[in-house]
Amino acid sequence: MSRVAIYPGSFDPITNGHLSLLRRGLQIFDKIIVAIAINPNKKPLFTLEERLDILKAVLKDYPRVEIDHFQGLLVDYVQKKETNIVLRGLRALSDFEYEFQMALMNRKLSRKVQTVFMMTDYQWFYISSTIIKEAASLGGNIEGLVPEIVYQRLREKFGLPPKQPNNAHKAGAAKEMPAHNPRSKEIWE
Give the residue numbers spanning the domain of 158.
129-163+177-188
Note whether residue 168 is domain-resident.
no
Question: How high is the pLDDT of residue 158?
Answer: 93
- Does the pLDDT value for residue 41 go beyond 60? yes
Active-site annotation holder among 88, 91, 133, 180: 91
Q: What is the mean pLDDT of residues 138-160?
A: 94
pTM, two decimal places: 0.84
- Does the pLDDT value for residue 73 go beyond 60? yes
Q: Provide the phi-psi class of 18: left if phi over 0, else alpha when psi is between -120 and 50, else beta.
A: alpha
The pLDDT-based confidence of 93 (bands split at 50, 70, 90) is confident
Whether the upstream peptide bond of residue 13 has omega within 30° of 0, thus cis, is: yes
Q: Order of strands, edge to edge, in the sheet holding 114-119?
A: 65-71, 31-38, 4-9, 85-90, 114-119
183 flagged as catalytic = no
pLDDT digits (tens, 9 = 90+) for 96-134: 888 999 999 999 999 999 999 999 898 998 899 999 999
- Does residue 78 sit in the same domain as residue 157? no
Note whether residue 169 is domain-resident.
no
DSSP H or E run through 98: helix 93-109
153 flagged as catalytic = no
60 flagged as catalytic = no
- Does residue 39 sit in the same domain as residue 64? yes
Note whether residue 171 is domain-resident.
no
3 flagged as catalytic = no
- Does residue 114 sit in the same domain as residue 71? yes
